[in-house]
Chain A
Amino acid sequence: MLPLYSVTVHSRLMLGTARYPSPAVLAQAVKAARAEIVTVSLRRESAGERAGQAFWTLIRELGVRVLPNTAGCHSVKEAVTTAHMAREVFGTPWIKLEVIGEDDTLQPDVFGLVEAARVLCAEGFEVFPYTTEDLVVAERLLAAGCRVLMPWGAPIGSGRGLNNLFGLTALRAHLPEVPLIIDAGLGVPSHAARALELGFDAVLINTAVAQARDPVQMAAAFAQAVEAGLAARQAGPIEPRDLAVPSTPLIGTAFRG
């Protein structure tokens, strides 16, 4: 059970909805992932094509909770306005807050992020900030009113996994009670399992599933990995050691003494 503001979810795998080969594959992948939450966005709507209307119908039919994002926003003003627009269209106070500071890595502008979070939390939004593993930024986001954090694993879409293992581990240790969701950069299910083993509460996956040769099978694989990682965390992993420790008892070993 994972509490996210006033909602409790079971699934530790959240799925992005972009870059799938088709709407049908997206729908199958969401089901295969057993995801309860999917991320969505807002884009300019053409009156002629009405692509957004068809997409929204598809998502509602899936019966999942939506987490709208402010992807593409580069300023506090853009992010706050987009959040207002998302709240109206999607009918949720949830917002995955992204304020992008650098286009090559899509690294968050953490200064703008904290400021936008402060504005939105004060207005009653339930903010899921896409941030780095920086401890001080995390503290500022919590002080601004955030109750969930979404640190990056690696740059969006890079598939590199948990880029700064030390920093992420320190963040987890520093904030043991705050729901932490690894957002962005995971490439394969073992990355997701590792995140859960380290104590992160959930992962958000998009590109790694959507761009796989078989997105539905990959979604199922991520679901299994997340379950395995959580179970392992709960089971209490052993600490790594530098030297061997015999697993077979030595007492009674033949040919000795």
Chain B
Amino acid sequence: MKILVNGAWRETQHAGLARALEELGYRGSVVSTAVNGEFIATSQREHTVLAEGDRVEVLAPMQGG
């Protein structure tokens, strides 16, 4: 299944957001997620099912003013 992760097309074997994030290399990272513009809390990732073409944002702490 192809999904758009941080603006780039990626292939994932998992429809569940939590497993997809692990597959994409985010295991153990402090990140926050949104799918199609909606915030998905960490506790909800297990229950969030992705569909082909979904837009996933994976954000982490960064310098800011």
A residues adjacent to B (C-beta < 8 A): 16-20, 26, 39-48, 50-53, 55-56, 59, 68-69, 71, 77-78, 81-82, 84-86, 88-90, 156, 184, 204, 206-207
Contacts and interface: CB of A to CB of B under 8 A. Distances in A.
B60 A43 contact: yes
Given A45-B6, A45-B58, A47-B24, A85 B32 contact: yes
Contact of A44 (B6, B37, B41): B6
Given A44-B6, A47-B26, A68 B64 contact: yes
Contact of A42 (B7, B26, B38, B61): B61
Contacts, number: 114
Interface in B17-42: 24-26, 29-34, 37-39, 41-42
Given A45-B26, A45-B31, A85 B64 contact: no
Contacts of B65: 16-19, 39, 41, 69, 71, 156, 184, 204, 206-207
7 contacts: A40-B62, A42-B60, A51-B60, A55-B61, A71-B64, A85-B59, A88-B32
A45 B64 contact: no
A55 B32 contact: no
B54 to A, nearest CB: 15
Interface residues of B, number: 25
B37 A77 contact: yes
Given A77-B37, A88-B42, A89-B32, A44 B58 contact: yes
Contacts of A85: 32-34, 39, 57, 59
B13 interface: no
B39 A89 contact: no
Given A45-B59, A56-B30, A69 B37 contact: no
A187 to B, nearest CB: 14
A41 B64 contact: yes
B50 to A, nearest CB: 16
B60 A56 contact: yes
A26 B62 CA distance: 13
A51 B58 CA distance: 13
A53 B60 contact: yes
B39 A81 contact: yes
Interface string B4-19: 0011000000000000
B64 to A, nearest CB: 3
Contacts of A18: 63-65
B33 to A, nearest CB: 8
A204 B33 CA distance: 28
Contacts of B63: 16-20, 26, 40-41, 55
